[in-house]
A and B are shown apart, each in its own frame.
Chain A
Amino acid sequence: MTEEVAVLDGNAAAGPLAALFAVEPTTMMITCERCGREGPLAALKLYGGAMGMILRCPECGTANLRFTDAGGQVTLDLRGSARLTVPDPGV
């Protein structure tokens, strides 16, 4: 059997997430519901691989965002995030 699964970060989630958001996703600020840490989505730890993406708080490991693109539908589960802030994209 084999080595540890590689962990990436939120930068690698940007492509798939861009299908959902009108603003650039990696600079979104996410506040962890459990520990209150706030930081850019790019700095979250990425797990999951081919089934979907799980982005976890780098501080406490709580899953802040889960994402799948499966069977013709995209699912985003934001349980674990207290809030999400983006710079005003303007109109």
Chain B
Amino acid sequence: MTPALLPWRVATVAAVKQESVRAKAILLDVPDWPGHLAGQHLDLRLTSEDGYQAQRSYSISSPPDGLLHLEITVERVDDGEVSPFLLDELRIGDRIELRGPIGGYFTWMPGEGGPLLLVGGGSGVAPLMAILRARSRSGDRTEARLLYSARTVDELLYRSELDSLAAAGDAFELIVTLTRGAPDAWTGEEGRIGREMLSARGFPAEDRPRVFVCGPTPFVEACADALVALGHDSSLIKTERFGPTGDVK
């Protein structure tokens, strides 16, 4: 056998944190983790006692400085196979297999410049959170905006942390939009991210922002199309689609 360039490693669950009504952050200890870039993902592999295996990719939401646990954020997929296990069954001290870090396209590291326009739909905000955490922890002051679309206020991930990042006064602006109704006191945006919201709240195309769009495929397609229509250089728009990679029903 050729030695694998990307070996499976054993991670131990160090902590589990409720991030929204539908999602948890899972913090992992991986003793031989080689480090990662903000925006990369990992593959997780679960094996049942009878040998059945299921594999899924998760974005890494922790920053790359290696001081913290490796974090993934898992949102419940109704009728799913892996996310209900991770959310309902997995406990501190459990061991799971993973390999990574994976990907080098959808990444940004402090010092790479901007302005930085991050556009996230649902749990697509996870790799963008790694970018924001990396930016903040390194003291990078690149002008940055996050346009974050969630269905309801209960489903917002990293809510208090994002609010404090936005209050830090280091040129980061948070714009949250809710697509399935907002509470009475809501002061953010409502409705889907489209041309109008990208034009009003994003950076003008002339500023040549580096754009990162992550979310379900229809969300990514709609945002990327709107950005191109607004004159953004398509080579500056990086996209990452997520959804079921196996057979879907």
What number of A-B contacts does a CB cutoff of 8 Å give?
A: 75
Q: Is B241 an interface residue (CB 8 A)?
A: yes
CB distance from B219 to the nearest CB of A (A): 12
In contact, A11 and B6 (Cβ under 8 angstroms): no
Residues in A11-46 with C-beta less than 8 Å from chain B: 11-12, 14-15, 18-19, 21-22, 24, 26-27, 40-43, 46
Contact yes or no, B247 A49, CB < 8 A: yes
24 contacts between A and B (CB under 8 A): A2-B248, A3-B249, A7-B241, A9-B239, A9-B241, A11-B105, A11-B240, A11-B241, A12-B242, A14-B41, A15-B6, A15-B57, A15-B102, A18-B102, A19-B6, A21-B5, A22-B5, A26-B103, A27-B104, A27-B105, A42-B240, A43-B239, A49-B248, A50-B246
Max chain B Cβ within 10 angstroms of own Cβ: one of A2, A11, A24, A49: A11
- Given contact pairs A8-B242, A40-B105, A42-B103, A19 touches B248 in the complex (Cβ within 8 A): no
Give the residue of B41, B100, B246 whose beta carbon is less than 8 angstroms from that of A11: B41
Given A18-B5, A42-B106, 11 additional A-B pairs, CB 8 A: A6-B243, A6-B248, A8-B243, A9-B239, A11-B105, A11-B240, A15-B6, A18-B6, A19-B4, A26-B103, A27-B104
Q: Is A5 an interface residue (CB 8 A)?
A: yes
B-chain residues with CB within 8 Å of residue A19 when the two chains form the complex:
4-6
By size class, the interface of chain A is: 20 to 34
B246 adjacent to A49 (CB under 8 Å): yes
> Within the complex, which residue of A2, A14, A46, A49 is in contact with B103, where a contact is CB–CB below 8 Å?
A14
Q: For A21, list chain B residues within 8 Å (CB).
A: 5
Please classify how large the interface on chain B is, using the bins under 10, 10 to 19, 20 to 34, 35 or more. Answer: 20 to 34
Q: Give the nearest-CB partner of B238 in chain A.
A: A42
Set B104, B239, B243: member contacting A24, Cβ < 8 A: B104
Assess the B248–A14 pair: CB atoms within 8 A. no
Residues of A near B246 (CB, < 8 A) are: 49-50
- Tell whether B48 is near chain A: CB-to-CB under 8 Å: no
Residues of A with C-beta under 8 A to B47: none
Rank and list the top 10 A-B pairs by shortest CB-CB distance, nearest first. Answer: A42-B105, A24-B104, A26-B105, A6-B243, A18-B6, A15-B43, A14-B102, A50-B246, A14-B103, A11-B240
Asked if B201 is at the interface of the complex by the 8 Å CB criterion, the answer is no
Contact present for A12 and B245 (CB under 8 Å): yes
**Closest chain A CB from B174 CB (angstroms):** 25
Residue of B nearest to A20 (CB): B5
Q: Is B217 an interface residue (CB 8 A)?
A: yes
Residues of B with C-beta under 8 A to A11: 41, 103, 105-106, 240-241
A26 to B104, CA, bound (A): 6
Residues of B within 8 A of A9 (CB): 239-241
Set of chain B residues within 8 Å of A12, measured between Cβ atoms: 57, 241-242, 245
